[in-house]
Amino acid sequence: MLKHALPDLFPVAGFRLGTACAGIRYPDRRDLVVMELDHGSHCAAVFTQNAFCAAPVTVARRHLDSGVPRYLLVNSGNANAGTGRQGLRDAQQCCELLASASGCAPAEVLPFSTGVIGEALTVSKIETALPAAVAGLADTGWGDAAHGILTTDTVPKGASRRLDIGGHTVTVTGIAKGAGMICPNMATMLAFVATDAGIDNALLQSCLENAVAGSFNRITVDGDTSTNDACVLVATGRSDLPAITTADSRYAMLCETVEEICIELAQAIVRDGEGATKFVTVVVDGGMDANECLQVAYTIAHSPLVKTALFASDPNWGRILAAIGRSGIADLDLAGVDIFLDEVCIIRGGEVAAGYSEAAGQQIMNRDEITIRTSLGRGNVSEQVWTCDLSYDYVKINAEYRT
What CATH number is associated with residue 25? Answer: 3.60.70.12
Give residue 188's pLDDT: 58
Provide the whole-model pTM. 0.94
Q: Are residues 165 and 290 in the same domain?
A: no
The answer to the question of residue 383 being in a domain is: yes
At position 186, the amino acid (one-letter code) is M
Q: Are residues 284 and 316 in the same domain?
A: yes
The Cα 201–Cα 12 span in angstroms is: 18
Give residue 2's pLDDT: 62
Whichever domain contains 347, its CATH number is: 3.10.20.340
Distances 305 to 255, 296, 308 between C-alpha atoms, Å: 37, 15, 5
pLDDT tens profile 263-273:
999 999 999 88
The Cα 306–Cα 329 span in angstroms is: 19
Give the chain's residues under pLDDT 50: none
Q: Are residues 78 and 159 in the same domain?
A: yes
Q: Are residues 245 and 370 in the same domain?
A: no
Give residue 393's pLDDT: 86
Q: Are residues 265 and 156 in the same domain?
A: yes
The answer to the question of residue 167 being in a domain is: yes
Q: Which of 19, 171, 188, 281 is catalytic?
A: 188
For residues 143-178, one letter each, b for 16 or more C-beta atoms within 10 angstroms of the residue's C-beta and e for the rest, the string is: bbbbbbbbbbbebbbbbbbebebeeeebbbbbbbbb
Question: Using CA of residue 115, residue 147, residue 103, residue 241, what is the dihedral sign?
Answer: negative
The answer to the question of residue 76 being in a domain is: yes
Q: Where is the domain boundary, 271, 288, 315?
A: 271
Residue 58, classified by CB atoms within 10 Å of its CB into exposed (0-12), middle (13-18) or buried (19+), is middle
Q: Which residues form the domain of 264?
A: 15-271
| Strand extents, DSSP E, 82-203 | 109-116, 157-165, 168-177, 190-195
Question: Which residues face 283 on adjacent strands?
Answer: 373, 384
Provide the domain count of the chain: 2
Q: Where is the domain boundary, 252, 271, 290?
A: 271
Q: Are residues 77 and 213 in the same domain?
A: yes
Give residue 224's pLDDT: 82
Q: Are residues 177 and 306 in the same domain?
A: no
Q: Are residues 296 and 357 in the same domain?
A: yes
Provide the H-helix boundaries in 183-316.
201-213, 249-271, 290-302, 304-311
246 classed as catalytic: no
Q: Where is the domain boundary, 227, 251, 271?
A: 271
Distances 14 to 64, 173, 229, 265 between C-alpha atoms, Å: 19, 12, 25, 22
Give residue 403's pLDDT: 66
The answer to the question of residue 257 being in a domain is: yes
The answer to the question of residue 9 being in a domain is: no
Give residue 221's pLDDT: 87
